[in-house]
């Protein structure tokens, strides 16, 4: 829905740079920044390979070294920023600009583009919330990247995992984590 909203808004306004910026941001976010801020802390990243073999980013290149520590506050904040920008802020800002353009030049555009952009904005909100909630409910409850801000694995499971992974356990305990 985000791409559809941005394409429709770009078509209506004649400004194609938001679509280009979104595509570049999308690939750099998932291909570079997410790997740096989130994936490099995941046990899958410790595997001896230049390619990541996990459920979320299978096939991505590993640019950085494995870091078994928990995500610090800055990395968690950056993940929230990246996620909110890719799913909510950028697509809604672009369709909002399209809505503003159509509303201020209503005589030129008419009701149909205005309703279309309003519907796409609502669709972006619904599908983005649906995606994030589905991810949190069905994937994040089973993910081994325990320091991810979206991870919802229970503490007893995390503790049991850390007891079997001495490298991660040592790094986590050095950062203040305590096992029960």
The tens digit of pLDDT for each residue in 30-79 reads 888 889 889 999 999 988 899 998 878 888 889 899 999 999 899 899 88
Angle between helices 155-164 and 166-174 (to 10 degrees): 120
Question: What is the rounded distance in angstroms from the CA atom of residue 50 to the CA atom of residue 96?
Answer: 41
Beta bridge partners of 61: 51
pLDDT at 57: 83
pLDDT at 97: 94
pLDDT at 121: 95
Question: What is the rounded distance in angstroms from the CA atom of residue 141 to the CA atom of residue 139?
Answer: 5
pLDDT at 119: 95
Mean pLDDT score of the chain:
91
Is the pTM above the cut of 0.75? yes
What pLDDT digit, counting tens, does each position of 147-178 carry?
A: 899 999 999 999 999 999 999 999 999 988 98
Q: What is the mean pLDDT of residues 120-125?
A: 95
The residues spanned by each domain of the chain are 2-174
- Is a pLDDT exceeding 90 seen at residue 130? yes
pLDDT at 128: 92
- Is a pLDDT exceeding 90 seen at residue 91? yes
pLDDT at 56: 80
Question: What is the rounded distance in angstroms from the CA atom of residue 118 to the CA atom of residue 96?
Answer: 8
pLDDT at 54: 85
- Which residue, among 37, 128, 33, 132, has the nearest Cα to 76 in the 3D structure? 37
Sign of CA dihedral 177, 139, 132, 66: positive
């Amino acid at each position: 829905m985000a791409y559809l909203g941005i394409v429709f808004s770009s078509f209506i306004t004649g400004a194609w740079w938001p679509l280009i910026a979104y595509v570049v941001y999308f690939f750099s976010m998932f291909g570079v920044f997410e790997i740096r801020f989130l994936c490099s802390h995941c046990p899958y990243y410790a595997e001896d390979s230049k390619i990541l073999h996990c459920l979320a980013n299978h096939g991505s290149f590993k640019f950085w070294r494995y870091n078994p520590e928990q995500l610090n506050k800055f990395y968690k904040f950056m993940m929230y920023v990246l996620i909110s920008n890719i799913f909510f802020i950028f697509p809604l800002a672009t369709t909002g600009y399209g809505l503003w353009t159509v509303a201020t030049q209503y005589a030129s555009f008419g009701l149909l583009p205005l309703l279309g952009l309003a519907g796409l904005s609502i669709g972006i909100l619904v599908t983005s919330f649906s995606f994030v909630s589905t991810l949190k409910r069905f994937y994040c409850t089973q993910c081994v990247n325990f320091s991810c801000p979206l991870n919802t694995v229970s503490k007893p499971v995390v503790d049991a995992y850390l007891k079997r992974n001495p490298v991660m356990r040592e790094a986590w305990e050095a950062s203040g984590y305590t096992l029960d």
